[in-house]
Amino acid sequence: MHHSTASRPSDVANPAESAGWRATVGAYVSLTKPRIIELLLVTTVPTMFLAQGGLPSLALMLHTLCGGALAAASANVFNCYIDRDIDELMVRTRKRPMVTGAISGRAALTFGTALGVAALLWLGLGANWLSSLLAGAAILLYVVFYTLILKRRTSQNIVWGGVAGCMPVLIGWSAVAGRLDWAPVALFGVVFFWTPPHYWPLSMKFRKDYANAGVPMLPVVASDRRVAGEMIAYTVAMIACSLVLVPLSTLGWVYGISAVALGAWFLADCVTLLRRTVDPSRGKPKAMRVFHASITYLTLLSLAVVVDVLLPF
């Protein structure tokens, strides 16, 4: 019986090689953090519609989205390389390819650099060089400003580091308009103030992970009550920016009503979280509910921009 299985090595080798190849591709893809890229692109599309005042050229949209995705992927790969030591200490991240050794440091740096160069050339040649420059700035902000300088040093890391996540708005606008205006600055403000109430609930859930890794996320160094209070302050500023966008752009009542309704809904979720941290008898604080609500808020607000722009009246 043993001889019969050993005499046909090719039958075993091919599936193993195929599985190995798939695992390697999967490891490289996971380094780019695709789910984060998805969220970044959600803000790029509506900004392009707004800049165009209608449906932008599909080729330009494709170029901008691909270039933006490549830039974000590049930044995420460098982030995984730099953070491999703390990722090893966190349950949530200890299976990342840089920690398991599935991808070497040199391979990751080469991959990240290639993605970055491809992003800048793709945007420069497919859209314009202002978009390319902004994408380069986004990569530097995320890798140097957030990952290398802020993340391990201050509880305000995600606030200022979040600037990198706001850049797709500017990239999308400049790709269409070839310049920047006040409208994308207001949208930039929406994403900037949205980031803390989006990310801090996740940090609340994984507080022990961040504490073990020595990363001073606000929920690690401050009480839940203070975190929830600050989330409300940022949410109010976010809603203000979403409303300021109306006089700064061509958007009308559909977007205006949506911005008010969505803002009120998300703010209510943040207030509920604060009430429950202050008085546990109201129920268990559900931080992840706010995290998921933040994604719904940004997606629906983006959709409202597109619908308003495309309406014939």
Structural domain containing residue 44:
36-310
Mean pLDDT (whole number) for 179-206: 96
Stretch 251-267: mean pLDDT, rounded?
98
pLDDT value of residue 137:
97
Residue 128 CA to its chain's centroid (Å) = 23
- Kindly state whether residue 3 falls inside one of the protein's structural domains: no
Residues 256, 49: Cα–Cα separation, whole Å:
16
Confidence band for 12, pLDDT divided at 50, 70 and 90: very low
**CA-CA distances (angstroms) from residue 194 to 41, 110, 148, 247, 302?**
15, 33, 23, 20, 13
pLDDT at 286 > cutoff 80: yes
Provide the CATH number for the domain around residue 148: 1.10.600
CA dist 21 and 103 (Å) reads 13
Whether 145 maps to a domain, the answer reads yes
- Determine, yes or no, domain membership for 144: yes
Structural domain contains residue 56: yes
- Structure confidence at residue 283 (pLDDT): 86
Q: Answer whether 0.85 is exceeded by the pTM.
A: yes
Identify whether 25 is part of a domain. no
30: in domain: no
pLDDT value at position 268? 97
What is the rounded CA–CA span in Å between residue 48 and residue 35? 21
Inform me whether the pLDDT recorded for 11 exceeds 80: no
How far is the C-alpha of 290 from the C-alpha of 199, rounded, in Å? 9
Could you tell me if residue 21 is inside a domain?
no
Region 161-189 average pLDDT: 96
Which contiguous run of DSSP H or E holds residue 182? Answer: helix 182-205
What pLDDT does 258 receive? Answer: 98
In a domain, 13, yes or no: no
Question: DSSP letter at 249?
Answer: S
Containing 99, the helix (H) or strand (E) segment is helix 97-100
Identify whether the C-beta of residue 74 lies closer than 8 Å to the C-beta of residue 139.
Answer: yes
What is the count of structural domains for the chain? Answer: 1
* pLDDT value of position 280: 85
Q: How far apart are CA 86 and CA 215, in angstroms?
A: 8
Q: Which residue has the tokens 């009480």?
A: 223
